[in-house]
Structure 1
């Protein structure tokens, strides 16, 4: 079972805190003495050293200056930046709308050879139609309380998804059967999305698997939505944040979970039958 998806991010923050604590200790300073030199409260020093508060670049510069270790400041700042980009709250990235977020994935999509996606809740973004994507993105905008640019964001999502037709990429996409029955947007948009899925599995580079609701011998229960880019990066989508996992042992755990989920899925004719059943259920 995958561990908490925020564990890599918290571990990275803890390493930054440990490094700062070691600089203070090597300088022979108490927490209170460092706080005085930095011009802040002792409690702030404690929060930083216990990884409860991430230090800003200026905090790190003051800390290193107080410890007479200014030459290490840039390295620690870079380490802290890496830690903070592993766990990114949606509110910090989509303040002006969702279009920019879609565009931010383009470079990573182009550089990835093997995509593995598991979704318990939505049709994977790579297979979304414009109407379905617009409904999903508009709902996200309302939930997050940001400007609703769903139309432009949906266009950008479809544009980046053209990678699925480009040579040099392979896609293994899994979803729970329940995804086919979650009606998002109007009935005609949902019907169009399901119709698109009927042909998706026939794309040369795509393996589309659906885990049936009738599966009686599950080896793994439904997990959080996650993407694996090659064998290097796992991106987990939570309600409030995106978590980027790069620690090899955790990536390996997600790959193990993915293979278990994949073994329970049906493909080809059986998958198409489940999709047709969902279309019929639309009435």
Structure 2
């Protein structure tokens, strides 16, 4: 279970509703467990304290025992699905293959009026070339043990989905800001030809009207505004309402306002360190020149 306050708060909200439903039905935890056919009261207690996730089957049983109307049951099931998606292991996210995982986030990109992405490891998907994306998703396939009947077809379809998603960069009124640690330009996780093409693509992408691309130089003085500004985990902020973080163990979706505010503050600190325009162009050009000369 994720330690994110957003994930925990979502679980607790659902747990509180289930406790209220039990109390309104005039049942003790022990009586509910008895009517549900569960051994002992500990299961009920853990669910109500949000220390144990409830399954859809158990939620339906809870509602049946407490005589909850069908419409309310559907509302609770929908909330359970939302709670479950707050924290997803990569096994859960990619259960249906890489293509479906990519499709699952399309709506968020298409509805976004503003996106802010900070990257420390890899280039954000909206800035990737097709070969770079293919290499990245193939690595995901191998590292995370994604199951698919036809691996190459799944990768190809996932790549196509991500490339099609880049159309949002042309949507009128939408704005996309990116801040990259300079090291991202130098990480040799792809072959030299793909790397060169990717850096050239960055130079073109930063000229798009809807795109702002900033780079934090290796030599940036991170103490210039007081306490040192340390690198953070890569994150994506959508409409100042949701933050997504890809961790080693899973995919985190943050919507708790206080926690979103922390990422917005982190973005401001990091953005202040970044250079843009011609200076960013020069940094990319330096990395590109090094690759082309070796």
User: Deviation digits for residues 147-181 of structure 1, max 9, x if unmatched?
Assistant: 44333322221111122123221111111111011
**1:37 is matched with which residue: 24, 35, 38?**
35
Taking the aligned partners of 1:276 and 1:192, their CA distance within structure 2 comes to 12
Partner in structure 2 of residue 209 of structure 1: 214
54-63 or 34-43, which moves further after superposition? 54-63
For residues 183-237 of structure 1, what are the alpha-carbon distances to aligned partners after superposition, in whole Å with 9 as ceiling and x for unaligned? Answer: 1221100111111112222111111001111112254211122111112222222
TM-score, structure 2 length as denominator?
0.87
Post-superposition shift, 1:69?
A: 4.1
**Aligned runs of 1:71-220 on 2, under 5 Å?**
72-146=72-146, 147=148, 148=151, 149-218=154-223, 219-220=228-229
**TM-score, normalization by structure 1:** 0.90
Structure 1: gaps spanning 5 or more residues: none
- 1:132·1:184 contact (CA, 8 Å) conserved in 2? no
Q: Distance in 1 between matches of 2:78 and 2:133?
A: 35
Aligned pair 1:236/2:271, yes or no?
no
Contact 2:134/2:155 (<8 A) preserved: yes
- Rounded to whole Å, the distance in 2 between the matches of 1:189 and 1:220 is 32
Check whether the contact 1:226–1:237 (CA below 8 A) recurs between aligned residues: yes
RMSD over aligned CA atoms reads 2.1
Task: Please name the residue that 1:277 is paired with.
Answer: 286
Say if 2:222 and 2:229, in contact at 8 Å, map to a contact too: no
Contiguous gaps of at least 5 residues in structure 2 = none
SS at structure 2 position matched to 1:234? strand
Q: 1:40 & 1:235 partners in 2: Cα distance?
A: 36
Aligned length: 280
Q: Taking structure 1 as reference, are residues 92 and 70 closer, same or farther at Cα in structure 2, changes over 3 Å only?
A: same
